[in-house]
Each structure stands twice: as structure tokens, then as C-alpha cells.
Amino acid sequence: MLEEFEKKDFQKILKHNALEAHRWMKETDSSAVRVYDRNLGAFPVTVELYNEYARIVDYSVPPMADDDVTLMKDIVSRFLYIEHDRILYLARKKREGREQHEKTDESLAVEVRESGLTFECELLKYVDTGLFLDQVNTRRMIQGMSRSMRVLNLFAYTSSFSVYAAAGGA
């Protein structure tokens, strides 16, 4: 069970980060952003916005207790202004050796913008959406240095770096 101060700390961080994220999204023509990234030990999760959805990925081992997940979803709903039925929770199991993350039968594909570019992200089928939101600045750097360049993207999981390079004139 979470302590009261842990809940309040999570709320403060989420509120602050959400204000910054909404400003950034407006300035950059983006609809997807990471709002929280495992800042507190009591909340070892990432919280990301994809349009009208909030996606929570739990990194704790074992995953958080159901009561704590319910509380966390309530906090995310209140502080990010997201409807409860649009908050997605995924537990990220620790892999061993060459083990891969399992894909689910559920699917929810959404089209999002990042820096004016459009991407399709799958929010439920896989533990990763394919658009790693913490890498936006790196992608923007690639865009800025790609004019008249030829690019071979050997790590083209979703081709987001290639899209940015093309937008930069590669």
C-alpha cells in the first residue's frame, strides 16, 4: 500500500510535467509525449500521452498491486484530464536471456503527430509502441543534420528516425 506522501509526490510531479508537456505539444505540433518517467521509487512507471489516451507502463517486479494501479489510474485521470476508460495499463515483465515480450490479442492503433510528422502507434498489442517518446530530441537532431544526406537506418524498428531524416531533406 502506498504512503500518503508518495501519492502527493506523484501528483505534484505529474501536474508539473503535464503543464510542461501541454506547452511543448502546442509549440511543436505534437500529440504524443512522455509525461512521467520512473521519477519515484513508489511509482516505477512511465506515463505517456497519445492523443486522448494515457498509457502507463509498469516496470516493477512484481507488478504493482491492483489497489495501487487503481489509485494511480485515478491520479493520472485527474491530473492529466483523461477519461478513465482511456487510461491504458501494461505491466512490463522482466525478460530473461533471449526471451521476447509477448504480444496480446488486444489492439488499439492511433495516429499521432510529433513535431508535425505523423506516426501510427499500437498502444495495446505490444509493450512498446514503436515510437519511443524519450527520443524526440534525438530524432529532431537527425532531422536538422540530414539535408542532402543519404541515410541507412539499421535500427528501423518503426522508421521514425528515417521519417525525421526525410523531413530534414535526406
| Rounded distance between C-alpha atoms, residue 169 and residue 150, angstroms | 9
pTM of the predicted model as reported, rounded to 2 decimal places: 0.89
Section 14-37 average pLDDT: 96
More confident residue, 93 or 148: 148
Residue 101 contacts residue 67 (beta carbons within 8 Å):
no
- Residue 20's contacts (CB-CB under 8 Å, 6 or more residues apart) are none
Model confidence over 50-83: pLDDT tens digits? 999 999 999 998 999 999 999 999 999 999 999 9
Q: Which grid coordinates belong to 88?
A: 491504458
More confident residue, 101 or 131: 131
Please name the residue that has the C-alpha cell 539535408: 147
The pLDDT, as a whole number, for residue 99 is 59
Name the band, by pLDDT with cuts 50, 70 and 90, for residue 106.
confident
Three-class SS state of 36: strand
Q: Which grid coordinates belong to 142?
A: 537527425
101 pLDDT more than 70: no
Residue 164 contacts residue 142 (beta carbons within 8 Å):
yes
